[in-house]
Amino acid sequence: MKTKKVLFYGLAALMAGCVPVVSLHPLVSSDNLAFDERLIGVWVDEPETTWEFARATSADAEALPDGLGDAVEKAYRLDFRDDEGRKGAFLACLVKLDDKLFLDVFPRTFPSGEEEAEKTDLPYNTLFFVRAHSFVRVLEIGNQLKMRLTDDEAFKKLIEAEPNAVASTSVDGTAVLTASSESLRAFALKHADDDRFFTNEVVLTRKP
């Protein structure tokens, strides 16, 4: 029985000191999957927080969204470490919608380790974990990597102002996007420069 995976809410939140908006469905598809060699490497900000991108391997194919297993060489492994040494292990897909770039980020491994999950005394409880996605707006890949991350509180204000902007719900006070991938792409394009969705700017410098 295969254990499903869940987004690291806590670690992902540490990336920008906020709770990201998560989605049940991916932004990426075989039609919009892009790849940029310049993204590969170690990127840092202040304090010493690192984002390390590397090519995904064949071992990662199973964790990709449906239909992308054969394109694993266009996906990235993303290893995140904050200034206190806490880590996150993700996969990321670069998404091109019109002339805009995004990252679709989701967990590479089960938070406690799949081996541990398989040995748990409550194996059926693991069925209630679901894989989730978080989206990042990519503004620049060059000497610096400039991005904007989503923010749960800002998104709630957007939905209050525009209740029909995109299908979503609230789970224990956290916003969760429930819209289809097609609707998500339209929403992401429309709100690509809206700081109520892509709120927190992150500027990273490539580590030599």
Report long-range pairs for 111-117 (Cβ below 8 Å, ≥24 apart). Answer: 111/6, 111/8, 114/3, 117/3
Domains of the chain, by residue range, sit at 9-206
Task: Give the number of other Cβ atoms within 10 Å of residue 176's Cβ.
Answer: 17
Q: Is 173 exposed, middle or buried (0-12, 13-18, 19+ CB in 10 A)?
A: exposed
Q: Which residue is it, tokens 């904050």?
A: 82
Query: If you compute the radius of gyration of the chain from its CA atoms, what whole number of angstroms results?
Result: 16
Exposed/middle/buried for residue 129 (C-beta within 10 Å: 0-12, 13-18, 19+): middle
CA nearest 66: which of 113, 106, 111?
A: 106
Whole-angstrom distance, CA of residue 41 vs CA of residue 145: 11
pLDDT in tens, the chain (208 residues): 233 333 444 444 445 456 789 999 999 999 999 999 999 999 998 778 899 999 999 999 998 999 999 999 999 999 988 777 878 888 999 999 999 999 999 988 765 545 555 566 666 665 556 678 999 999 999 999 999 999 999 999 999 999 999 999 988 788 899 999 999 999 999 999 999 999 999 999 999 8
The rounded distance, in Å, linking the Cα atoms of 150 and 201 is 9
